[in-house]
Structure 1
Amino acid sequence: MLRILSLVLVTFACFTLSLAVQCNTNPCELGGDFVPPNYQCLPATDNVNNVICTCPDGHAEINRRCRICDTINCGPNGVCIERSFFEGLFYACGCTNGTNNYLNPGPCPGANPITTTTTTTAIPPTGICLNGGVYNSITGTCTCINGYTGLYCEIPSGQTGCQNVVCANGGVCNPNPPTENGVLMHCTCPAGFAGPNCELVGTLGRCVAGLCQNGGACEERVTGSLIYAFCRCPPGITGQCCQSSYFSCPMTGVYADPINCKFGRYFQCNGYTLSSLSCPRGLRYNFMKMRCDTDVSCPP
């Protein structure tokens, strides 16, 4: 009887083991253009029999390959191609205008918006978070402990820090602890420039009436023996003296900020009232997912 019971237990154990999916069997089909860090196979910490296959756009699959083009509709005559063609965008659509073929950073003109052809999710339903991260079932996201970031808390923050922060006009990013996931990213600006991303261009001298136009606010900063006046512009206004208007609200909604997208900023319209919002440092607003994210393409 004991021998029969032992045989049953061994058979059950072998059957259970045969159901396990391991990264060493390459269920994510990594290779060629689909390799880390853009595409990854991550062991699921809450279930040793599962793995997470990730795409660089934040999608993931459990126990099967993840491909961005599975969720992209380039249009009836478009072809989706997965490679890093554009800044922060890991696919392009091969389009035609009837005469020439060209690559487009997004669906071809006239195509419907993104459509999902396979079941994908930003966070698996099981709520898998790595490296001590805690899954929030209300928001459907992972809250990472200090020192980690990423969709699943899979990336040490030291690997992301400054490489995702844009400092304009010759500014240099310096990671200073602590705060944002363990790292505070700070842009050190050359003389004559200011702002969180060194995007403000100063005028030598003090603030004077009329320097800042269109409701811009003037502030002074002292650099050594020099004094610079900086204009902080209202949302939708740009220029050294806030002299140029480039955006106004068409209707209620969330909109891209084409000038400051690279700094993680975007617009929110409440009727015709315009507000400028900002993502955490190093992130940009992803309009496909309606959230701040990594790997988001901005206008050049």
Structure 2
Amino acid sequence: MFFLSGLPPCFSRACCQLHPWVAEAMVLVLQALLPCFCTLLSLELLPGVEPAVPLEDFYPFGQDVGDSQTIAQDDGGSRLVKISVAFPFFGDRHTGLYVNNNGLVSFLREVSQFTPVAFPIAGDRRVVAPFWADVDNRRAGRVFYRESQEPSSLRRASGEVKTYFSEFPNFNATWVLIATWHQVTFFGGSSLTPVNTFQVVLITDGELSFTIFQYNNITWTTGMHSSSGGNLAGLGGIAAQAGFNAGDGKRYFNIPGSRTADVVNVEGTTNVGQPGKWVFRIDDANVEVGSCNDSASVCQHLRPCLNGGQCIDDCITGNPSFTCSCLAGFTGQRCQIDVDECASYPCQNGGTCADRIHSFLCHCPPGYTGSQCEADIDECKDRPCLNDALCVQGAGTFTCVCEPGYTSVLCEKDMNECESQPCLNGGECMDLVANFTCVCPAAFTGTLCETELVVLQVNSTEPENQTGLCGNANCEKNWICENTSSGIHICTCAPGFYGDECEEECLCQNGGVCVDINGTCECQSGYTGLYCQFEVTQTPCSHSRTCPDGGPCLEYGGAYLCTCQTSAAELDPKDLYPYVQPRSVCDSSPCLNGGYCYERDGGYTCECKYGYWGKHCEKVRLNTCASAPCRNGGSCKEEAGSYRCVCPYRFTGKHCEVGKPDPCASSPCLNGGTCFHYIGKYKCECTEHFGGRHCEINRSSVQTSAGEQTVCHHFVMSKSH
């Protein structure tokens, strides 16, 4: 209840006392309205006024009158209903509509949104909404609808329009749509929770169109989805929206109390003098509501609605009162409350909401943008990662996955592979990109300088003494021991063998020898060819001067000379003079990817280079080492279609994935001795006062039989597991 400024409150609804100082003009206004000023201003109905439309006053509905039903489905509806007329709706004509379970009829598209939005809404959201809320007719209730041209329905609709819009005394309806939500409950409810019953009627004569809302029983307003915020009774949170929306963001009507707790009392409000009933014209360019043309108008004289709200006289006989239809962004009985648009927490991804009039502003956290902070900013768009690193998008951030050899947040730093000091035994580490190399001291070798070259303690540099000591070396099969002038020995391949492990037999003929690990032949004078299989004559030859008996013409010593093959080995085309070859099937170069062509029984065969296969060497052979299967610095070697990992010191396993124990971990060297790794073993380097296998012998305590102290200047460092 509210009062005019300067008037005292009423002490009784039955009688109001007017003070003599009230202006005569106000007295005239009050006399024109009602004897009791308090009753005039009350928004409540008088006792005895039924606050709802009885079901018998609804337009007939249900299966008995041929209604269709929507599917029992949360947020579902009728799908597109093609109608027999072009229904006028704010300047457009529609031949189809949707009856949505969530309490509204829509044009153009179905509305499955269950949390209502305050009108106006742009974007062609054209709806007539008697009670837009989160209905779930799977739990309770049914939704009926039908279009009708049945005479009794048309007569009733025509009469109601003439009553509420007296400017159209000749209106005759030609079509109506009747949609009824009967005892429906809310999402999260059950067959025992509160239910609502209401109806909407669309009416047209082909030119004019109207709608009637009728409310029988409204007991809940909100579904229990987290975005709506309703409680177990279907109340609280973002309540139902009632009214209509033209879809242009300008023309709309909100029934007072929409989207607030007050909407549960909509069955007691009206704009035509009958509680629970609202009537609107919805075809014209302007929004028009029904009126009872009562000269005793509360709105005209008191203007109670604030913030631009539209005042509507209820004109209930014996109880003149009003309701306020508020502009978007305001609510309350007098539109005095600024709606908090942040109450529904519209800002996503941790955004902060700032309330404004009929709007809100989201302040987004780093990494997000958009009106509701809904868009994740692509931090990888500008390619922040350097050195070909992979950028992985995250929530408000990004991560760079660096290529081998690079590190730091943006992969801008070249990783120092020498930082872990991988080189052993005093080796100097040289940093490379994604790799390193060890420069070993003279007495060590290997990838990590892990292999010690045994130092022989000798008193003479005579070759015979060195040769004798080489006999103690442990060279493998097909290896021989060689002494060097620096007092060390090395194992090299025996004559006739080559390869990393001296495992391949040399194929050189006529005294030729293999000179490298690839088995390349170095021929004696007078012989040539891949395997030294051709003996060179002194007979010149050329393209026009072939060799006697068809011998090959080969280049030798800067000239082309005839040769004789000394064995049954196949000729290698690489050795032949290109201009003296007879024409053959190989002239067309059928072998691809560097393959060599050989004539065979009137045809040819291709000898493919490594990595290719097929009749014409056209297929790529899978390199089993291409995936780099060997770990921890192991080197991969292909063998018989598979591969073998050669592991560095202290690693083993098929892929060098197993670390061997550190032989120095047990601190075997005593008395300050230093432990050094030695190919799976260790050696102790003792201080000057100690010796022995583990530096356990105190030299100062060792006496000769004559009582003299013996100092050993040369001793052999022992190694042990």
Common topology (TM > 0.5): no
Larger Rg over CA atoms = 2
Q: TM-score, normalised by structure 2?
A: 0.15
Structure with the greater relative contact order (CA < 8 A, sep ≥ 6): 1 or 2?
Answer: 1
Q: TM-score, normalised by structure 1?
A: 0.31
